Amino acid sequence: MKKLFFILSIPLILFSGCSSFLEVDPRASISDDNTIIDAQSANTALNGVYSALRSYYSINFQSIAYLSGDNIQWTGSQSQIQEFINHNVRAENATISSTWVGIYETINRANNVIAKVADLDAGAIGDSERSRILGEAYFIRGLTYFDLARVWGGVPLITSPTLNVDDNRGIPRSTQEQTYQQAISDWDIAEGLLSETTNRYQATRKTVWALKARYFLYRQDWQQALDYASRLIADVQNYELLAPYTAFFVNNVVGTRESVFEIYYNANELNPHRNQWQPQERGGTRQWAPNDTFVALVNNPEVGGSRSALVALDNQGRWYGNLYYRSPATDPTYVIRIAELYLIRAEAKANLGDSNGALTDLNEVRNRAGLADSQAEGQDAILLAIENERRLEFGLEAHRWFDLVRTGRAKAVLGITDDNRLLLPLPAEQLLLDDALEQNPGY
């Protein structure tokens, strides 16, 4: 059996051909009690958790989020990708299968770290190092369950390492509520373990606060969403809206004061995200492209402002997305920026009846983009203004579909007639492997 710290450092692409987390390749299972034996091997194993996170956040999960919304078109030839735009995703869809496998691979790696680092004796690892490693693993596992809940609803909750192919058979799906509860439970633990430092690439207590703000927004706990967002916004020494809008991504910058948590890539582990956006003349495939509606909005100076820099024309006169542009493809994936915290707080304030406070936060984001203050009046109009601002502010980030679903607006905006289509089907191969799993209704 190979050591955990070696196996977990292998990029996830080696596991992408596995049919299921239920059929874990024996090389990915952990049966050697000595695989994590000290702080060095524990940190190497933690790096493997981040590697798995980088992998599932690069193409598959992002593809679901982009194409299910109304900003992005698919220009490629694979019909299964078009299923997301048509909101008619089949259980046999390869993208949902790959996303499921990638997320559960991340969970398994996090579970291994949590189980083994917790059991190391004091002579092998210091208390502060143990707490940090465990906190980061819990944070990542919480993020995976949050993502699972918003894509599929309820899923099997796996919180122990997978040691052999039969370990996870027979575990029924939890409810969506229970899946969300697993996410917040993990983040509660992480919050207690991590220090209140600033790190834009690895989880800290501040990273947990940011994701908790998003969590409580999704759960419509407006006061807690407001409170957690305010913690980051108040930290003006470390976080700010950068002006102009492009300052957080142009000129190959990474880890700016705009960023709360971004996933780091380098020349040895490239972000394939970039090639999906860039045109052929720049070495890409342009299979994801802004659609006509988004191009019109973002290029309208009274709506998009300086965010028009998100799109550009290729040598054939076609629009392409230009948030991910670097060569080699070392572009970070932006998980959460301070702009989102402002808009989370704006939405929370609007729902709590504080219209003036909501407009103040909304206008911080608008002004940074070179736009005048919003003239929206009344709760409904302000909430719609926030929704529209999120559409443009995060136009090439993985938000729009999830925003429309969580606010109950997906059916009206996207023309979806079947409530069942607001969640995706469980991969067909998972159902074949385990009779305990039940498909989502309507599939």
Q: Is 270 found in the same domain as 188?
A: no
Predicted pLDDT of residue 187: 99
Q: Is 319 found in the same domain as 175?
A: no
Q: Is 188 found in the same domain as 43?
A: yes
Q: Is 145 found in the same domain as 12?
A: yes
Predicted pLDDT of residue 33: 46
Does 405 map to a domain? no
Sign of the CA dihedral with 394 first, then 419, 178, and 216 last: positive
pLDDT digits (tens, 9 = 90+) for 165-179: 778 889 999 999 999
Q: Is 16 found in the same domain as 131?
A: yes
What is the rounded CA–CA span in Å between residue 180 and residue 68? 21
Predicted pLDDT of residue 358: 98
Predicted pLDDT of residue 34: 53
Nearest Cα neighbor of 9 from 35, 33, 32 is: 35
Domain boundary among 312, 331, 350: 331
Does 130 map to a domain? yes
Outline where 120-239 has alpha helix (H): 127-152, 176-193, 205-218, 222-233
pLDDT digits (tens, 9 = 90+) for 65-121: 999 999 999 998 888 999 999 999 999 999 999 999 999 999 999 999 999 999 999
Does 243 map to a domain? no
Q: Is 144 found in the same domain as 19?
A: yes
Does 300 map to a domain? yes
Does 354 map to a domain? no
Domain boundary among 313, 331, 349: 331
Predicted pLDDT of residue 120: 97
pLDDT digits (tens, 9 = 90+) for 183-238: 999 999 999 999 999 999 999 999 999 999 999 999 999 999 999 999 999 999 99
The residue segments making up the domain with residue 189 are 4-24+39-194+422-433
What is the rounded CA–CA span in Å between residue 407 and residue 427? 26
Residue ranges in the chain modelled with pLDDT below 70: 1-34
Predicted pLDDT of residue 17: 31
Does 309 map to a domain? yes
Helix orientation angle between 94-119 and 39-56, rounded to the nearest 10 degrees:
160
Outline where 11-93 has alpha helix (H): 39-56, 60-67, 79-86
CA atoms within 13 A on the CB side of 2: 12
Domain boundary among 331, 348, 368: 331
Predicted pLDDT of residue 15: 31
Query: Contact, 215 vs 187, CB < 8 A?
Result: yes
Q: Is 276 found in the same domain as 177?
A: no
Q: Is 428 found in the same domain as 321?
A: no
Beta-strand relationship, 288-290 and 311-313: unpaired
Q: Is 172 found in the same domain as 56?
A: yes
Q: Is 110 found in the same domain as 14?
A: yes
Question: Which residue in this structure is represented by tokens 């392409």?
Answer: 320
Q: Is 132 found in the same domain as 15?
A: yes
What is the rounded CA–CA span in Å between residue 354 and residue 139? 32
**Domain total for the chain?**
2
Does 407 map to a domain? no
Predicted pLDDT of residue 35: 87
Nearest Cα neighbor of 358 from 332, 389, 328, 402 is: 389
CATH of the domain at 135: 1.25.40.390
Integer CA distances (angstroms), 229 to 53, 207, 279, 280, in order: 24, 11, 37, 40
